[in-house]
Chains A and B, each alone.
Chain A
Amino acid sequence: MTFRNQAPSLKLQNNFQFAPPQTYIMANGCKLLVVSQGDVDVCRVDLVFNAGSRYQTQRLVANGTFSLMSEGTAKHTSQQISEHFDYWGSFTGFGADKDYAKATAFSLTKHLDQTLDMMQEILTMPIYPVDELNEWKRRSKQSLTVEMEKASTKSRIGFFNALYGEGHPYGAFAVPTDFELIEQDSLIGYHKQFVGSKNCTVVLSGRVTDAHIAKVQSVFGNHSWGDASETSVSQLSEQQVKGQSIFIEKADALQSSIRVGRPLFTRSHPDYPDLAIVNTILGGYFGSRLMKNIREEKGYTYGIGSYIVTLKDSGALVISTEVGEQYTQQTMLEITKEIERLQNEPVGQDELLRVQSYLMGEALRSINGPFAIADNVLSLFYFNNLNYEFFNGMVNSIKAITPNRVMEIANKWLKVDDFVHCVVAKSNPF
Chain B
Amino acid sequence: MVNFDRFSLDNGLRVIVHKDTSTPLVSVNLLYNVGSKHEDSNKTGFAHLFEHLMFGGSVNIPNYDEPIERASGENNAFTSSDITNYYITLPLSNIETAFWLESDRMLSLAFSQQSLDVQKSVVIEEFNQRYLNEPYGDVWLLLRPLAYKVHSYQWPTIGKEPAHISSANLDDVKNFFYANYAPNNAILCIAGNVETDYIKELSEKWFGSIPKRCIVRPDINKEPQQTQQRRLEVKRKVPFNSLYIAFHMCNKLHPDYPATDLLSDILSNGKSSRFFQSLVKRQQLFNSIDAFISGDIDEGLFVITGRPADGVSLVQAEEAVFLELKQISQQTVDNYELSKVKNRFESTFTFGLTSTTEKALNLCYNELLGDANLLNLTIKRYNEVTAADIKRVASKLFTEQNSSVLHYIAENI
Contacts and interface: CB of A to CB of B under 8 A. Distances in A.
Interface of A: 2, 4-5, 7-8, 10-13, 15, 37-42, 78-79, 82-83, 85-91, 106-108, 135, 138-139, 142-143, 145-146, 149-151, 252-255, 285-287, 295-302, 322-324, 353-355, 357-358, 360-362, 364-365, 368-369, 371
B251 interface: no
B70 interface: yes
B174 interface: no
A177 B176 CA distance: 52
Contacts of A286: 65, 69
Interface string B246-274: 00000000000000000000000111110
Given A108-B350, A299-B121, A357-B71, A39 B128 contact: no
Contacts of B73: 358, 361
Interface residues of B, number: 83
B211 interface: no
16 contacts: A2-B206, A7-B97, A12-B72, A40-B351, A91-B351, A150-B135, A285-B69, A286-B65, A287-B65, A299-B117, A324-B128, A357-B69, A357-B71, A361-B69, A365-B74, A369-B23
Contacts of A38: 22, 354
A7 B104 CA distance: 11
A253 B284 CA distance: 33
B54 to A, nearest CB: 14
B229 interface: no
Interface in B115-169: 117-126, 128-130, 132-136
Given A354-B66, A357-B72, A361-B73, A298 B118 contact: yes
Contacts of B123: 302
Contact of B270 (A39, A82, A143, A300): A82
A369 B23 CA distance: 8
Contact of B94 (A11, A287, A371): A11
B288 interface: yes
B128 A89 contact: no
A239 B43 CA distance: 52
Contacts of B119: 299
A298 B119 CA distance: 9
A48 B339 CA distance: 32
Contacts of B332: none
A287 B61 CA distance: 16
A2 B350 contact: no
A50 B355 CA distance: 31
- In this complex, the member of B72, B100, B128, B347 whose beta carbon has the largest number of chain A beta carbons within 10 angstroms is B72
Contacts, number: 206
B90 interface: yes
Nearest to B22: A39
Contacts of B132: 254
Given A82-B271, A139-B287, 15 more contacts: A15-B24, A42-B350, A78-B281, A82-B272, A86-B272, A87-B272, A89-B343, A89-B345, A142-B307, A300-B121, A358-B74, A361-B71, A362-B74, A365-B25, A365-B74
B271 A86 contact: yes
Interface string B278-289: 001100100110
A228 B346 CA distance: 37
Nearest to A12: B72
A302 B287 CA distance: 32
Contacts of B336: 87
Contacts of B67: 7
B80 interface: no
- In this complex, the member of A108, A300, A302, A368 whose beta carbon has the largest number of chain B beta carbons within 10 angstroms is A302
B12 interface: no
Contact of B355 (A8, A252, A364, A368): A368
A79 B277 CA distance: 8
Contact of A368 (B23, B269, B284, B346): B23
B287 A138 contact: yes
A418 B134 CA distance: 31
Interface string B85-121: 0000111011011011001100100000000011111
Contact of A364 (B24, B69, B125, B272): B24
B70 A357 contact: yes
B391 to A, nearest CB: 21
Contacts of A11: 91, 93-94
Contacts of A302: 122-123, 125-126, 129-130
Nearest to A84: B272
Contacts of A4: 59-61, 100, 103-104, 107
Given A42-B351, A86-B272, A87-B343, A143 B288 contact: yes
A365 B89 contact: yes
Contacts of A107: 347
B65 A149 contact: no
Interface stretch (B178-186, B236-244, B392-400): B236-244
B125 A299 contact: yes
A86 B340 contact: yes
B72 A138 contact: no
Contacts of B367: none
Interface in B48-88: 59-61, 65-67, 69-74
B317 interface: no
A259 to B, nearest CB: 15
A41 B209 CA distance: 42
Contacts of A37: 22
Nearest to B307: A142
Contacts of B240: 142, 145-146
A91 B347 contact: yes
B20 interface: yes
B368 interface: no
Contacts of B99: 8
Contacts of B129: 255, 302, 322
Given A4-B100, A287-B69, A353-B70, A86 B125 contact: no
Interface string B302-342: 00000101100000000000000000000000001001100
